[in-house]
Structure 1
Amino acid sequence: MDSTVLPPVSLTELDHLAGRAATVMNRLRDRVYAPGSEKRLELSFNVRSAAEMVGRSEKLIRDAEADGRLPPPDKDPETGRRTGYSLGEINRMREVFGTLPHRAPGDPPMVLAVQNFKGGVGKSTVVAHLAQFFALKGYRVCVIDCDSQASTTAVFGLNPDVDVDEEEDTLYPFFRHGGPPSLSYALRATYWPGIALIPANLGLYDAEYEFAARMARDHAFVLDRMRAGVETIQDRFDIVLLDPPPALGMISLSVLRAANALLIPAPPNNIDFASTAHFLKMMSATLAEIAQHGGARNYSFVKILATKMNDQKSAHVAIKRMMDAVFPQDVLGAVLKDSAEIDNATANLKTVYELTGPATRSDTHKRCRAYLDAVGREVEILIRKTWPSHHADLRKEGIL
């Protein structure tokens, strides 16, 4: 009598399964990445919103348009009304009025890693939304996708399988022996004014094996390669966001060494928070170990962000309360709550910040946007505290 009624699954059948999965993914990509199309930012701001974003009155904006310091606004040919301003035009206004929030030359660039060794905690969601929040504020942002799954790359409009070559466009060449001396080769402008991207794709996974093989004979190269790369481009930006893989691998260790601040997304449920606790313990032990080889690494701040929070789940509420009690100084006050708005946007490779039209007038959208803005503002304040040139303004705002 057979020991099982289930037939064995052979490598050939696994091959067929992978092929069918690839067919599904190709159909999804064909729907999202229309042939010959490029992702565009369709946001438009009326003069009232522009005044709030720029920090000047509507009258000053109109005066600057009238006297030629700003170009005349586009108008609807039928109604004669202003059609709205793009983010690029908003930044031009900020430049004219001197309200761009850039760090001063003496301020250290912020290199922020959104790090957790567990997948599914909202890491890439946080990276993409933070990048766009900062861009809306007028900061110069670089996003470095260090994860071979390339979720962040896809959200920024690139098909990792078609638009990204691991030998030319990702971190992979820089990680190899004898690679380029700077990360400049991989920087790409995006459809978001103020955001540059270093993309990723599945080929980046090979770097993990090559790094691991090289670790024994050249640990300094492996541990500090990311930091060396970031230092070659960081002067062009105010904020560099690192999106590492959800695993304790060589790239993740290199990211921990490159960052000068950490944001740790942690959903308030038993499994994910237990994983976060293990991550903190492993990170502490690992950094202590590698400090013996490459020197200690200090951070401007390390904060935990509660993500995917559901107020209707008593377990979430209880664990969040415990997080606040155990980590009173380490958990952000803002919470990124579970929202169908984020899921729906992600399904179309978008973020909540780039949605337009009637959908943005729903209560669900407004609540979600409020959660995201609160997270962005709190992180922004932490970053500005690291910039001496911003301290006087922070005092005026009652923050310092």
Structure 2
Amino acid sequence: MDALNPIHVIERLYERSLDVLGSLRNSARAADGQVRQAPRFPITKVSELVGRTAAAIREAEKDGRLPTVERTVSGRRVGYTLAEINHMREVFGTRPWRTTEDPLAVIAVQNFKGGVGKSTVSIHLAEYLAIQGYRVCLIDCDSQGSSTTLLGYVPDLDIAEEDTLYPFIRNAEMTSLAYAVRPTHWDGLYLIPANLRLYSAEYELAARIARAEATLLNRLSEGIASIADHFDVVILDPPPALGTISLSAMRAANALLVPIPPTVMDFTSTTAFLAMLHETMGVLQERGLPVDLRWLRVVATRADEQKSMQRELLNMMRNVFGDTMLRTVLKDSAEIDNASARLMSVYDLEQPVTSRETYQRGLTYLNGVNAEVETLIRLTWPSHAKRLREEGVL
């Protein structure tokens, strides 16, 4: 009879699933030489990222302003790490960091329906911005830990309770989130990971808020403020539900990115999400906890324009959302799926998993979406106004 006990059955299924995830993690680490490393960049890409010609970079290496790049036995350059690229930005004065007059960008990637590509958008946006030279912190607020997983960790094997938001949320005497911030294999990108203990935080917060402690919804905002001086952008990946952690993320955010696949069910769900969001923002405002957004954008995700119904829905979404919808569509890509299966992002891949054409298409969609978001961030920074005018954005 014990084998039929649903509690024991579920426990065994959980343990087996965790073993599989551990094997996937170990396989990925073995392929990366145990320590995950970001790909290197060729000098043509480095020139674009740094904003200087390849000749200028080589000249700086010759005169000692930059260290010479590592070479193979045959004398071929092995490429530059992101840390080396960021050092170049320091030397050439092309770091895109915000100044003290610019507000920290806190972006919640939010939808109350699962499977819309929320974590895919979060992780690729975080890595893209790090590649561009920004200081980024990705805060995984979801107990499922999808963003944490895509950065190479298995939440309940590699991440303990004290590594997450949980201690800070439950202990009002803690004054800083710095304890949970960890570096990643991307220079300039940091992570506050998640695991299942955040699920408990939902209930604890709800119970305490019910006892008229509504200001607890400010805890995440307070935590972000405690580390704000070290970052240009903070990206929040909240749970796909309207719970206390999602409300805390809304309070902390000053920008909102809403992923929506072009399907009838996802559009219907997002319509409900917008209705709940509107009502919730009103209630928070009445309680003296307003949500202050500098911008809000919808991004179409997991789109397959080979399907006529999806094409029609995309056109409808453009008509409905107008300027609040990003121009670039994040299309369904086998390369994104293949990277995720390896607990990676597309930016992590050293080479295509499928074909170069599929890889380049996936990269083009991701770069297009992320570049639009980067521009929205820069538009909120007074120090970038001159450069945005020179680029023809303003």
- TM bin, normalised by shorter chain, reads over 0.9
Per-residue CA distance 1:6-41 (angstroms, 9 max, x = gap)? xx9996145224403421431332232258974422
Does residue 228 (structure 1) correspond to residue 222 (structure 2)? The answer is: yes
Report deviation, 1:217. Answer: 2.4
**Which one-letter code corresponds to 2:113 in the other structure?**
K
Match of 2:44 in 1: 48
Residue 295 of structure 1 and its aligned partner are, at CA, apart by: 3.7
Normalising by structure 1, what TM-score? 0.94
- Between stretches 125-134 and 220-229, larger displacement belongs to 220-229
In the alignment, structure 1 residue 15 sits paired with structure 2 residue 18: no
1:170 to 156, 164, 174: 164
Superposed counterparts of 1:63-78, under 5 Å? 63-77=59-73
385-394 vs 27-36, which moves further: 27-36
- Which residue is equivalent to 1:5? none
The answer on whether the counterparts of 1:173 and 1:179 sit within 8 Å (CA) in structure 2 is no
* 2:300 counterpart SS class: strand
For the residue of structure 2 that corresponds to 1:240, the secondary structure is: strand
**What's the offset of the Cα at 1:375?**
0.2
Matched letter for residue 67 of structure 1: D
Deviates more, 1:66-75 or 1:356-365: 356-365
Local SS of the residue matching 1:41? coil
Aligned twin of 2:332: 338
Match of 1:207 in 2: 201
Q: Equivalent residue of 1:85, what SS?
A: coil
How many Å apart are 1:222 and its aligned residue? 2.1
Q: Distance in 2 between matches of 1:62 and 1:347?
A: 38
1:290 has 2:296 as partner:
no
The answer to whether the aligner puts 1:362 opposite 2:356 as a matched pair is yes
Query: Are the aligned partners of 1:335 and 1:371 in contact in 2 as well (CA < 8 Å)?
Result: yes
Find 1:159's aligned residue among 154, 162, 180.
Answer: 154
Aligned equivalent of 1:88: 83
Instruction: Kindly provide the amino acid, as one letter, of the partner of residue 155 in structure 2.
Output: P
Match of 2:100 among 100, 105, 108: 105
Matched-pair identity in %: 50
Q: Can you list the C-alpha shifts for 1:233-280, whole angstroms capped at 9, x where unaligned?
A: 112101000000000000000100000000000111111111111101
Q: How far apart are the structure 1 equivalents of 2:141 and 2:92?
A: 37
Match of 1:274 among 249, 265, 268: 268
Unaligned residue ranges in structure 1 (runs of 5+): 1-7
SS in 2 for 1:212: helix
TM superposition outliers: structure 1 runs of 4+ over 6 Å: 8-11
Residue by residue, what CA displacement relative to the aligned partner does 1:315-345 show, whole Å, maximum 9, x if unpaired? 1111111111111111111111111111111
Q: Quote how far apart the aligned CAs of 1:285 are.
A: 0.5
Paired position in structure 1 for 2:316: 322
Structure-2-length-normalised TM-score: 0.95
Which of 20, 25, 31 in structure 2 is aligned with 1:27? Answer: 20
State the match for 1:395 in structure 2.
389
Q: SS of the counterpart of 1:336?
A: coil
Larger radius of gyration: 1
Residue ranges of structure 2 left out of the alignment (5+ in a row): none
- SS at 1:120's partner residue? coil
User: Quick one: which amino acid aligns to residue 15 of structure 1?
Assistant: H
Give CA deviations for 1:157-177 in whole Å, capped at 9, x if unaligned. Answer: 2221122111x2100001113
1:141–1:194 contact (8 Å) kept in structure 2: yes
